[in-house]
Structure 1
């Protein structure tokens, strides 16, 4: 299971939401073996005055937060991060300097999905990759 939140300045984020969602999902599928039909993304386009960030970033600055079940290997998570940086830069021209990625992992029992705790949910894909 994975939930994605993406934050950015609305004038920059709104025009690329669909493409960025597809890029993120392709990385999740390739690095973590997510099923192609499991896509849960939320976008938070922000006004410039509500989005503070350090010098050295541009208006393309984008934060990607990934919440998912624990169990993936360090190598798989590093591969996910690598693919995100590479594909976002090559497909929508956002520099890695303007991208920050955070992965939050929680035990399955901390999730509630389709009326049951995540640790009793029957999954049709692997988490331990």
Structure 2
């Protein structure tokens, strides 16, 4: 399972939401061997006054938060981060300085999905990769 939140200045984020979702999802699929039909993205376009950051960031500053089940290897998580930096820079000219990525891992039993705790789900993909 992966739930992804994307935060940015609304004037920069809104025009690229669909494409950015595609790029993020492609990285998750490649790094985690994730099923292509499983996509859960939420966008948070923000006003300038509600998104405070340091002067060394531009208006393209974007934060990506990824919540996943525990179990992926450090190698898989690093690959995801690297793919996101590469693909986002290539598609949107968002510099690494303007992109922050955080992966939050929690045990499956801390999730509730389709009426059951996450550790009781029958998944069609592997988490321990």
TM-score range, shorter chain: over 0.9
How far apart are 1:57 and its partner, in Å? 0.4
Instruction: Give the total of aligned pairs.
Output: 129
How far apart are 1:55 and its partner, in Å? 1.7
Structure 1 residue runs of 5 or longer lacking an equivalent are none
Match of 2:76 in 1: 76
Cα distance in 2 for partners of 1:25, 1:84 equals 9
The SS at the match of 1:119 is helix
CA deviation string 1:47-105 (max 9, x = no partner):
00100001210000000000000000000000000000000000111101100000000
Cα distance in 1 for partners of 2:57, 2:45 equals 17
CA deviation string 1:108-128 (max 9, x = no partner):
000000000000000000001
The SS at the match of 2:78 is helix
Match of 2:15 in 1: 15
Match of 1:51 in 2: 51
Cα distance in 1 for partners of 2:63, 2:90 equals 17
Cα distance in 2 for partners of 1:28, 1:48 equals 29
CA-based RMSD of the aligned residues comes to 0.4
TM-score, length basis structure 2 = 0.99
Runs in 1 of length 4+ with deviation above 3 angstroms?
Answer: none
Cα distance in 1 for partners of 2:106, 2:119 equals 11
Match of 1:97 in 2: 97
Structure 2 residue runs of 5 or longer lacking an equivalent are none
TM-score, length basis structure 1 = 0.99
